[in-house]
A and B are shown apart, each in its own frame.
Chain A
């Protein structure tokens, strides 16, 4: 790890812009989530409003979270740590701002498009073709900016965070185009079963090649700094990086175990899903040994607290994922709220918490002043933590009720009243997350623009 070089004047405009992007869309994402949760409790709530009924608010919620909140949050940190680790400036702050503006335009256009019914109807690949092009350009600009920064580096050694950050944006720019079948502007889809295969290849790689590597990059950067410990093992980070790329990319078909796709494809997906334990545990061993004995220091630092919690969630979500890929388990867990719980544990619990930690780590550095309110950030931490844990437990129970009832021959309709209370529990814990998002946005805006410079 390179030592900080305070003499270099830096503006970090791009990092600031992505901070604001992330914090802003977090509020929109959770608000959309609350509307969706409301529909599941009381379907006549806000009845007959075309643009936000459940079939539209759900993809809106998902897309804002993936592309509006989590990815920009992690990118904000990347735009900060890349130049620092490389002892150079960002290649172009101007280009960075352009990419961030374009990024916001595509999220906005995508969301409004889904609200108006312009959707490709494929999970994680909903955005319409013109928006896909904008996504491609935005990712392309970020890739170019980061790689050019690497090129003009003054530090010869590339730290592990840089591998992950560069690979994440580079590979996702590619898989996004493949998964959205970008050469078919009319439907954005293939015909029949191959469409499901290509969709889930891409869909799972949104986590595997975007959120996870970016999240790990932030964790690898922040946790050693916060705990003031050198990284435990370079070898482990090497094996972890390459095994993640090899293993994670194979597992998308585990979404299709109960579908008539070729069996050999399912076998590969299951084997690699179980093998996910390797990259996951390698990362966790590496990072947990790095901070070993320093948990007090971690806990005292708001960024460290968020990100270390993220690593714990990373453990749970991945071990759960490996187990869920087993066909016998999936007989119960497929098609119900278990999967929704799993998705929230991953995207909010791991990637989202890591992104928030990244924001709180870089905000004081890029503004040169302490965080506007450490208390609000702490409150946000607890709200998100209680929210996501409560959420996960509640929906997992609901999923087990549904899955076991169905497999024993109970009609779906009969199970609806049984899970209603868990939908209420989900909305209640979700409300905590939504409140946390607004607290966070206020804190970020105050820190960036109206910061008296005294921590409270």
Chain B
């Protein structure tokens, strides 16, 4: 084959044209733009928030693309083509330095997001996201509206839930410590309330509990458990001051349940996806021993001793 300029230019352009037709034009002609069952258009504020998201390169660390193999955040809803029919450009992302945000809407209340944007480590001590305090509160609120819309109709359901429970939580908080602690205990299902912490308190378990506390709790509840962590000024109702729990019949089971499920409506997230059972019991016992000074660890009824227990 003799490679003349014409062969090189015409040949390579012809190949490119053929490939563009097959790989770009054909799928475009065959595109299905039917909205999925959870799709809804964005409000103008949410669209403005998306522009801030785009402008600041959030897409380089956060995907919006749930796969069949995913476990955690958003895994209940695998992405469908119809979820993206309003997206220009589409923001699938190529990396998960942070979590996938497909279903982030309604995971947390708005105030959690503001604290998290001001400094991500205020609510998530291990986060490696840079702070966005410089955006200013107005733009952060707009951005938060966009984040809260991720998941579309499903996010709306969750946001409704957040709003309802926020009212309840505020009512309880404003009724004073006594009523608040009572509310916090009574929203836990009956069976859980009477369960003592089944793991014995040991120096090793307290040490493990402290590690978990520092990685998950310290930003809101603070290093001495008084609810005065750096996130506190942004959050209402404010983080719980653990010391008020003393003498108010808070069992290990109540603490476990609240850590596991979180308190929707408040900035207290659920941890059952991130922490295994033993870790939740042990961080609960750490709180009970150090901040409440009143632990029911290893008390009756406790069933059969685990084989490893001292």
Contacts and interface: CB of A to CB of B under 8 A. Distances in A.
Interface of A: 39-40, 43-44, 47-50, 53-56, 58-59, 117, 119-123, 147, 150-151, 158, 160, 162-163, 166-167, 170-171, 174-175, 178, 187-199, 201, 209, 238, 242, 245-246, 249-250, 252-253, 255-256, 258-262, 265, 268, 331, 334-336, 339-340, 402, 406-407, 409, 411-414, 416-417, 420
Given A170-B12, A191-B87, A268-B22, 15 more contacts: A39-B130, A44-B131, A48-B134, A55-B59, A158-B4, A191-B85, A192-B31, A192-B86, A193-B84, A197-B27, A258-B67, A259-B79, A340-B95, A412-B72, A412-B73
A178 B20 contact: yes
B277 interface: no
Contact of B89 (A120, A163, A256, A414): A120
B137 interface: no
Contacts of B273: 411
Nearest to B50: A121
A39 B8 CA distance: 45
A195 B61 contact: no
Given A196-B92, A197-B28, A245-B15, A54 B20 contact: no
Contacts of B56: 53, 55-56, 117
A334 B119 CA distance: 28
8 tightest Cβ-Cβ pairs between the two chains A and B: A55-B57, A189-B89, A121-B54, A48-B134, A411-B274, A117-B55, A249-B19, A167-B12
A242 B134 CA distance: 51
B95 A339 contact: yes
Given A53-B130, A260-B79, A195 B94 contact: no
Contacts of A44: 119, 121, 130-131
Contact of B57 (A58, A191, A196, A340): A58
Interface in B76-97: 79-81, 84-97
A158 B24 contact: no
B43 interface: no
B15 A121 contact: no
A245 to B, nearest CB: 5
A143 to B, nearest CB: 10
A147 B8 CA distance: 11
Contact of A192 (B16, B84, B129): B84
B131 A414 contact: no
Given A167-B8, A178-B20, A192-B87, A416 B60 contact: no
A194 B95 CA distance: 20
Given A259-B79, A336-B95, A163 B20 contact: no
Contacts of A194: 27-28, 31
Given A58-B57, A121-B89, A43 B15 contact: no
B120 interface: yes
B232 to A, nearest CB: 19
Interface string B154-169: 0000000000000000
A258 B95 contact: no
A327 B80 CA distance: 18
Contacts of A191: 33, 85-88
Given A54-B57, A195-B88, A336 B96 contact: yes
B177 interface: no
B60 A54 contact: yes
Contacts of A336: 95-96
Nearest to A187: B88
Given A54-B61, A416-B128, A166 B9 contact: yes
B91 A121 contact: yes
16 contacts: A39-B130, A119-B57, A121-B54, A160-B3, A192-B85, A193-B31, A193-B84, A197-B24, A197-B28, A246-B15, A258-B67, A335-B95, A335-B96, A406-B72, A411-B71, A412-B73
Interface string B93-115: 11111110000000000000000
B69 interface: yes
A54 B129 CA distance: 8
Question: Most chain-B Cβ atoms within 10 A of its Cβ — which of A55, A123, A199?
Answer: A55
A50 B132 CA distance: 8
Contacts of A196: 90, 92
A150 B6 CA distance: 11
B90 A158 contact: no
Given A54-B61, A262-B27, A413 B12 contact: no
Contacts of A40: 97, 128
Nearest to B52: A117
Nearest to B58: A55
Contacts of A201: 20, 23-24
Contacts of A178: 20, 24
A98 B33 CA distance: 44
B13 interface: yes
A261 B90 CA distance: 13
Contacts of A413: 99, 124, 126-127, 274
B5 A265 contact: no
B226 interface: no
A171 to B, nearest CB: 5
Contacts of B15: 242, 245-246, 249
Nearest to A62: B60
Contacts of A246: 15, 19
Contact of A170 (B13, B33, B90, B127): B13
B94 A414 contact: no
Question: Most chain-A Cβ atoms within 10 A of its Cβ — which of B4, B24, B130?
Answer: B130
A122 B1 CA distance: 40
B264 interface: no
Nearest to A184: B88
Given A192-B81, A331-B69, A43 B8 contact: no
B31 to A, nearest CB: 5
B55 A150 contact: no
